[in-house]
Amino acid sequence: MKTKTSLSALIAVILIVAQTSAQGKSLYERLGGVYSIATVVDEFIETLLVNDVLNANPNIKEARDRVPKAGLKFQVTALVCEVTGGPIKYTGRPMKESHQHLDITGTQWNAMAGDFKKVLDKFNVPEKEQNELFEIVGTTKNDIVKFPDK
């Protein structure tokens, strides 16, 4: 009985290992998990806060002065963890709801994307992982940008 149980457990472990190596590691794991993601988000938000293109938009500036940056970092970290396949769940508002009042333009989106790239390079995030992240972030653009041609 005991041998049978041990054998089943062994087979289960082998199956899980085989499946993981076949599918590869999640983007969350390849980025280094929550501590690495939180570190990158921390630097990213700090960089955005002093971006003159973004601060020229009075709605963005107003929201930044009102919303505690530690909370924003927490929410963005949770979202990135979730969408990259991590175990943490994002509980904030949907992207459209949380950005609609900011009147974000295409130029401001590009300014954000430029800072994102700069920070990922600074932390030596490999090209493959950067591309996967950009693709995921890109899916939020329609909800976040109100004036794509401006």
Residues that bind ligand HEM (CB under 6 A): 54, 60, 63-64, 67, 72, 75-76, 79, 92-93, 98-99, 102, 104, 108-109, 112, 137, 140, 144
Indicate the helix (H) or strand (E) that contains 145.
Answer: strand 145-147
**Residue 33 vs 95, nearer CB to ligand HEM:** 95
User: Whose Cβ is closer to ligand HEM: residue 14's or residue 58's?
Assistant: 58
**Which CB atom, from 30 or from 141, has the smaller least distance to ligand HEM?**
141
CA atoms of 119 and 54, how far apart (whole Å): 16
Helices 106-122 and 33-49 sit at what angle, rounded to 10 degrees? 130
Length of the chain: 150
At its nearest, how many Å lie between ligand HEM and the CB of residue 20?
A: 27
Q: At 104, which helix (H) or strand (E)? A: strand 104-105
CB of 40 to ligand HEM, least distance (A): 13
